[in-house]
Structure formats: structure tokens, C-alpha cells
Amino acid sequence: MEKETMQSLMRVAIEYRLRAYAPYSKFKVGAALLTEEGQIFGGCNIENASYTPTNCAERTAFFKAVSEGYFKFKGIAIVGGKEDAELQFCAPCGVCRQVMMEFCDPETFIVVLGTSVDDFKAYTLKEILPLGFGPEDLK
């Protein structure tokens, strides 16, 4: 994935972080998911007082994209941090990694983690989810 593309995704993720609903943890996360067709879907974390129904930014972006008919993805950028603090490198949780595994090729799907449009690191899904379990395992 080109640097300019990753920077664009970071911009969208930072924007969506501002929309997060995190009154309990005060930890806000934004995500920007890029489809194979070039569409970008943003997502933010949405908390709930009972915690279990809370949804992460990454899954929000995936579910929005899938609900609009997109099933193939190139990459995702993720930013996060405490409400009134600097952004920090924020890796996706295990549940989000598993959702990524459902829809993405672990060899080529890129996960961009960063603190700004100029400070980020890119990983393949396989690097952050070694030995992942996906649809291919059920064949």
C-alpha cells in the first residue's frame, strides 16, 4: 500500500475518533477501512454501560462496509488514545482481528497503526494474527 494511501486512511481514522462514544473508558478509537474498490468506511468505538454490547471502531467500519455490499478489503488505519491525551499506537483487539480474518487475505491486508498522518507503522494481518482461524479452515 502506498504511503499516500496510508496517510489518507490515517486522516479519516483521526476524524472518526472524534465521533467516538466512550463515556466509560474515555478511550476513543477511530478507524478507516479501505475496500478493494477504493471506498473508505470510517468507524468509531461505541461503548455501553453494560460493556458487552460495546463495539470497537474497527468492527463498526467493517459492519458498515459489509452492510453496504462490500466484502473485499485492502487495509485499515486505526488511531486511539485517552480522550484528552495524545494519540498512541493502538492495535486492534482479538475480536476485531478475527473479524478482519473473516473478510481479508492475511497475507495482503494492511493494518496501519499510528499517532498522526506522518507517524505510523504498517503490518499485514498475518503479522498481527499469526495462525489465525479463517473461512479457509472450514473447507
Q: Given 58, 68, 83, 136, which residue is catalytic? A: 58
Backbone φ and ψ of 128, nearest 5°? -95, -10
Shortest CA distance to 73 belongs to which of 49, 50, 52, 43?
A: 43
Residue 21: strand, helix, or coil: strand
Q: Bridge partners of 75?
A: 34, 110
Sheet holding 120-124, edge to edge: 40-44, 27-35, 73-82, 110-114, 120-124
C-alpha span between 31 and 80 (Å, rounded): 9
Among 48, 50, 44, CA closest to 20: 44
Active site residue 68: no
> Which of the residues are catalytic?
58
